[in-house]
Chain A
Amino acid sequence: MSERAFYIDYSRCIGCQSCVQACAECDTHRGVSLIHLETIQRRESVQTAPQVCMHCEDPICARVCPADAIKKTPDGVVQSSLKPRCIGCSNCVLACPFGVPRYQVEIDQMMKCDYCYDRTSVDKKPMCATVCPSGALTFATAEEIQRSRRGIAINSWKFGNEVVKTKVFVIVPREVERVNVELVQISPTPSALSDDPYDVALMLESVE
């Protein structure tokens, strides 16, 4: 059996928010949920997408950090910013290709998913993967993934000409070797655009 790794499969997400709640239970950032859960196009679709830190091999967040505050552990986990060093500039927030780091205004510091290091360093599952009911977030061995999924797990991405390798894997069809990220625009269907100010989806969008 190989070591367990983190797998993300956006298409399985049902938007239940369990991961959002569980994330706040992580001991390294107690009370603060750092996972992102996006609603793609609320008025037209129920599609949602969770986003954890992908823990890049050569993290762009660390490269653009002026304070040298983002470090990797020997086992490849990109940690949250070092508290004594982070100067709250938000370079990492803006440069991360996956849109992961968050700038916490009240403490003037960047925080991000750190792979639940208090748990994964002792071979426990991260909080989000522990509670995810649909398998969109999974912490498992490669064999378990092979056995239970249609696609394959890859960890190579391309943003423009920038190739990024990550510790976290994504599930894709078997013929795909690398995820080439292009901008995907989805235009709203005119019939879905309600003028009703009490339209629930519209109200939720304004809250977001």
Chain B
Amino acid sequence: MDGLKPINLSPRGSDTAHSLAWGLIAAAALIVGIVVGSRGLKDFDPALISYAGATVFSAFGLGYRYAMWLRRPPTRLYWFRGWQIFLIPKRLPGNIARLVRIFWNNVVLQRFIERRSKTRWTAHWFLAWGCLIAAAVTFPLSFGWIRFETAADNQQIYRAFVFGIHVASFPLDSIMAPLAFNILDICAVMVLIGVFVAMWRRGRDRGAMSVQQFSNDLLPLVLLFAISVTGLFLTASTHLMRGLYYVFLSQLHAVTVIFTLLYLPFGKFFHIFQRPAQLGIDFYKRAGEEGGQAQCIRCGQPFATQLQIGDLKAVQSALCIQYAMRDGTHYQDVCPACRRKNLALTQDALWRTPEAELQRFDRF
């Protein structure tokens, strides 16, 4: 594809210093957001300060890791190339329309996981949406961005405020009330369904069992289970046990949530932030297909887009992968099938020394 600017894959400066700076920027931006969004902490609930504090740390970790991830040459290339292609003015309207469609299929419905396995999809869909809806409620609550209060003139009316602005009211006997009060319980049940299906799969699938690791595959499920169950305990204590052990249970719940927030940037949950890159790849592939095709220098057949082969060579150069051949060709211009055939022919040629040919002749 013509007109795309080259991307600097070896940026100057220390990776660690750069990433630390982005981590600090992310944490500072969140603190500013909390202060401004809660109207100078007027709407900030001090009871939730431990959640907000852990989220600030998490923002630092996410900023740090994301920036470090983008320092890797291949990631850096796709990040900038993806945005270059997406923002080409004449392609932008079509790209936005396509983005909505692939967002619906890949993020909302998660169809690509369904094609891997129905069980995996069931587990992931419930886990993902249980977590995302819960996050959409609890993060703004703990930041003081949303708050609820009863109307001053009518105790039966509940009012919702976003950034201090009144956005909705609903009577306590309406359908909205139980939904609003129990949304986190609903999320907890969704997450628990996901956890049970995932554990069931991980306990039966011999392939998964052979490669799964506790820290990467099981700990996230344990954490989500702990958060959901301790959250449901709070509801049970309130409605079924007259508030018995409520303080202890709320502290226990806080510990599980805070631990998960601290784990967020460093463990499996980081894929939530990496995954949108898949949307960028879709635009990259489409742009490449509209351009020329790279032809294998051995068989002459097209095997990839010229855009990707050119970019891959740039990445390899940044990574000091030296595929330039002695005869002036480049190994990256050989298609994967020809590479495999070439290996067998190379090994075959090693046995075909003049001495070996003579020996073979002597047998007759």
* A residues apposed to B, CB below 8 Å: 9-11, 13, 26-30, 36, 38, 40, 47-49, 51, 60, 63-68, 79, 83-85, 87-91, 93-100, 106-109, 114, 117-118, 121, 151, 159-162, 170-173, 176, 179-186
Contacts and interface: CB of A to CB of B under 8 A. Distances in A.
Contacts of A89: 78, 281, 284-285
A183 B319 contact: no
Contact of B211 (A100, A117, A172): A117
A87 B281 contact: yes
Interface in B336-356: 336-351, 353, 356
Interface string B313-335: 00110010111111101111011
Contacts of A185: 298
Contacts of A48: 344
For B205, B303, B346, which residue has the most chain A Cβ atoms within 10 angstroms? B346
Interface stretch (B162-170, B236-244, B254-262, B271-279): B271-279
Contacts of B116: 83, 107, 109
Contact of A88 (B274, B281, B335, B345): B281
A67 B75 contact: yes
A34 B334 CA distance: 20
Nearest to A164: B321
For B278, B297, B335, which residue has the most chain A Cβ atoms within 10 angstroms? B278
B308 to A, nearest CB: 7
B351 A11 contact: yes
23 contacts: A11-B344, A11-B348, A13-B344, A27-B207, A27-B210, A28-B210, A38-B340, A38-B341, A40-B345, A64-B312, A64-B321, A66-B277, A68-B69, A68-B72, A99-B336, A117-B211, A118-B209, A118-B210, A151-B351, A159-B325, A160-B330, A171-B347, A183-B342
B360 interface: no
Contacts of A160: 322-326, 330-331
B26 interface: no
B321 A60 contact: yes
B363 interface: no
Interface residues of B, number: 66
Contact of A67 (B274, B298, B327, B351): B274
A34 to B, nearest CB: 12
A201 B281 CA distance: 38
A179 B315 CA distance: 25
B5 interface: no
Contact of A182 (B75, B77, B210, B326): B326
The 10 closest A-B pairs by CB, nearest first: A49-B344, A99-B336, A118-B210, A99-B339, A161-B322, A28-B207, A10-B344, A184-B345, A84-B271, A66-B74
Nearest to B353: A173
B112 interface: yes
Given A11-B348, A47-B348, A67-B277, A99 B308 contact: no
A161 B348 contact: no
Contacts of A38: 337, 340-341, 344
Given A83-B116, A118-B210, A161-B324, A64 B343 contact: no
A85 B206 contact: no
A183 to B, nearest CB: 6
Given A97-B339, A182-B346, 8 more contacts: A36-B337, A51-B343, A84-B271, A88-B278, A109-B116, A121-B210, A161-B324, A183-B334
Contacts of B316: 64, 95
B115 interface: yes
A12 to B, nearest CB: 10
A11 B271 CA distance: 43
A60 B275 CA distance: 22
